[in-house]
Amino acid sequence: MIEYLKKAKSHLILASLLFFTIGYADNHSIYEEGRHYKKLGLAESVVAEDNRVEVLEVFAYSCNHCFNFEPYLDQFDLSKADYIDVVKMPVIFNDAYKMHARIYYTAESLGNLDVMHTEVYRAIHLDRKMLMDEDEIFALFERNGITKEQFQSRFRSFTVESKINRAQRLTRKYKIRSTPSMIVNGKYIANGPSTRTFEDIIGVSKHLAEMEYLSLSQSND
């Protein structure tokens, strides 16, 4: 009788594990086009070398949701598959957004984006600064080791202007309506009516990246 109960218990545990595994697999197949993501009609040409997949976060420094999304995106970047490249692009809806995009690309050009990206978010959301005045913006750069000459040489440079123009064009082309938005290889946007939480955005982005990677792998075989 005891032996029978042990076997029954083992079968129950096995059945539970099987149910969990099936449920886990199902969770990865529930993402549907139109509900969780959309295919972009005019896809941007993203050069995919060695079957790599670009996951682009379109963000705004003034966006509270983007500020709160940062830890989720950082965790995704740390745990992502090797074939995924996580990149960022500031959205540009108007001149105010353009100024914040200028901050992003200036920091990138100066090589201190890793530090400044966090500092800009903190200045706007914790210190309640607008960062719309050039002197105020420089003061933030200066506190992080950038001289006036370095700042002025990049803030309105050709390189920064070119990247701003590209971001403005892609904002329109990708039909960005809200931030954060995640674009996978220029083909899909991981935002839909059923993508409601930060976890959803990350989950859908992973799903689309896997789907795109498999597609690239098959086409290159």
Return mean pLDDT, the chain: 88
For 81-120, write each residue's pLDDT tens digit.
999 999 999 999 999 999 999 999 999 999 999 999 999 9
Instruction: Give the Cα separation of 53 and 12 in Å (integer).
Output: 41
Q: In this structure, which amino acid lies at residue 74?
A: D
Q: How many CB atoms lie within 10 A of CB 147?
A: 11
**Global confidence as pTM:** 0.85
SS3 for 74?
helix
Q: How far is CA 128 from each of CA 62, 122, 221, rounded to the nearest angstrom?
A: 10, 8, 53
For 134-168, write each residue's pLDDT tens digit.
999 999 999 999 999 999 999 999 999 999 999 99
Q: Which secondary-structure segment (H or E) carries 200?
A: helix 198-219
Question: Which residues lie closer than 8 Å to 113 by C-beta, 6 or more apart?
Answer: 104, 107
SS3 for 51?
coil
Residues shown for the chain: 221
For 174-183, write each residue's pLDDT tens digit.
999 999 999 9
Which residue has better confidence, 3 or 118?
118
Query: Residue 8's pLDDT is what?
Result: 40
Mean pLDDT of 25-36: 76
Instruction: Give the Cα separation of 126 and 121 in Å (integer).
Output: 8
Q: In this structure, which amino acid lies at residue 19?
A: F
